[in-house]
Structure 1
Amino acid sequence: HWNQSVLLRCTKSVDPAALAIAAAAVVERHPALRRPVGPHGPGAPRPVGDLDLVSFSRIQDPGNIAEEIAALGTELQRSLDPEAGRLIRFHLFPGAPGTDDRLALIAHHLVVDGLSWRVVLDDLAHAYGAALSGRPPGLPPAADFYRWAASSPGPAQPVNPLPGSGPG
């Protein structure tokens, strides 16, 4: 898979409805997370409501958490479909009583790298806190990466910074 994933251990129980609102807000803010990408380039962003962003499965055996999560991991990885605009998934593993919830985020490498996780996680935390308080997520619109890339000048030309360092 050309995906990256993050598994968060949540010390407080996660509210599924607030998580769904927050996930939708994050994906709405970042069009690249819902823009189909295929052999002919990017398409128009999909409506957030069409993407089935959040799924759930309860941790049954607190002594077997890693195995339970790993068993579903491959299915979650395969659920991404860049050509359909499914580039990110949120999966909540509510814990059994006395067990912390786990939240898995899986994103295609087309839309996330090691540095951009911070942006996604910060936006998710902000939107989740707002949803828990009954407020709108309040995430400002973000620049559309594909529009930005299309408007950028072509590749930079090499420069010889020192006289006499170039060929000839």
Structure 2
Amino acid sequence: MCQLSTYSLFTEFPRPQDIEKWTHTEVLVADPRLDQGGVRTAIDAVFAAHPALGAVFEPTCDRWMSRPGGGWTWAVEPPGVTVPEAIARQRAGYDMRTGRLFAATLLPGAPDRLVLTASHLCVDGPAWHGVVDHLIAAYTAGGLEVAADGHRCDGG
């Protein structure tokens, strides 16, 4: 489980363009189809169990302080959108001031794909793998697994 203290300190003011590229990414595939309600329920459960995913960053004096309290982003893309395009949209939507640093996007098709990203500001590498594994286990409809192409990546 990701742990987040009530407040964490960062000594420099990160710029959005600096944090956007530093993300964890995972592509999951569903067989046969992804149950949108079921996967959103699973994401809610994972998000509640890993509150650092919703880290909100607030400037205080000369420091950024973080606290839990943000949310996550959900999108369903039209047919033809590629995984890199979905990842780029997710990253562009990150907002450290509102705690929008975790995103899930459904790419309908055969098979349906679920693209997950999270900023390094809210989760480290080992914890990210735990988040993904927790989501797969929490999705009660079954048939959700890591894409065979090994898209799991940590970093920009």
- TM-score, normalized by the shorter chain, greater than 0.5: yes
Identity rate of aligned residues, in percent? 29
**Hey, what's the Cα distance between the residues in 2 that align with 1:44 and 1:102?**
28
> Whose helix proportion is higher, 1 or 2?
1
Q: What is aligned with 2:107? A: 93
* TM-superposed deviation, 1:17: 0.4
- Letter aligned with residue 110 of structure 1: L
**Hey, what's the Cα distance between the residues in 2 that align with 1:104 and 1:84?**
21
TM-score normalised by length of structure 1: 0.62
What residue ranges of structure 2 are gaps of 5+ in the alignment?
1-20, 143-156
2:66 maps to 1:42: yes
* Rg larger for: 1
> Whose strand proportion is higher, 1 or 2?
2
The count of aligned residue pairs is: 118
What residue ranges of structure 1 are gaps of 5+ in the alignment?
61-66, 134-168
The structure with higher relative contact order (CA 8 Å, sep 6+) is 2
Q: What is aligned with 1:53? A: 73
- Letter aligned with residue 128 of structure 2: W
CA contact (8 A) 1:54 1:91 kept: yes
* TM-superposed deviation, 1:109: 0.5
Q: Say which SS state the counterpart of residue 47 (structure 2) adopts.
A: helix
What is the root-mean-square deviation in Å for CA atoms of aligned residues? 2.1
Q: What is aligned with 1:80? A: 94
2:43 maps to 1:23: yes
Q: Say which SS state the counterpart of residue 118 (structure 1) adopts.
A: helix
Q: Say which SS state the counterpart of residue 111 (structure 1) adopts.
A: coil
TM-score normalised by length of structure 2: 0.66
* TM-superposed deviation, 1:55: 1.3
Q: What is aligned with 2:26? A: 6
Q: What is aligned with 1:140? A: none
Q: Say which SS state the counterpart of residue 83 (structure 1) adopts.
A: coil
